[in-house]
Amino acid sequence: MNEPLLSPITRRYTDRSTQKAFAFSFFCDRCAKEWRSAPQAFGLGGLPLLADLRVVRMLWNDQYKAAYERANLEAIYGFSLCPECGRRVCLDCFRPSGTDAPDICEDCLSHHLPASAT
């Protein structure tokens, strides 16, 4: 039985995997800017090219899960978590609050600005 994959780090992601390599894109929850994982090659682990198709599928599924989880965890470095709204946003959409309050995304920051500052 297949174990469930980790939930994606962002609300939207795309599986860009092929038969030869695993790759994923994650998108900023605010502006949809794309972050792409480095492709990870699929390997048979020393099995002959004519290996049983069921074994190849099992290997592919295991490597796919591992590649997705690695990419998902690496994507953390491409996005910041806004403590106010809970969205993962790219570094371009994450702003210092300029106060003692925590840093937040641009949308939440604009809600905190005085009316004269907008």
Tokens of 17: 């995997």
What's the pLDDT score for residue 100?
67
- Dihedral in degrees, nearest 10, Cα atoms 17, 12, 36, 15: 0
Q: Which of 103, 77, 71, 80 is nearest to 29 (CA)?
A: 80
- Nearest partner of 111 among 84, 87, 86, judged by Cα: 84
pLDDT of residue 6: 83
- Position 1 scores a pLDDT of 40
Other CB atoms within a 10 A radius of the CB of residue 87 amount to 20
At residue 33, the pLDDT reads: 97
Instruction: State residue 88's pLDDT score.
Output: 96
Name the stretches of the chain with pLDDT < 70. 1-4, 46-51, 97-101, 112-118
Each residue's pLDDT tens digit, 39-70: 999 987 766 666 678 888 888 899 999 999 99
Per-residue confidence (pLDDT) for residue 70, from 0 to 100: 96
What span, in angstroms and rounded, lies between the C-alpha atoms of 18 and 95? 36
The pLDDT of residue 9: 93
Count CB-CB contacts under 10 A for residue 40. 18
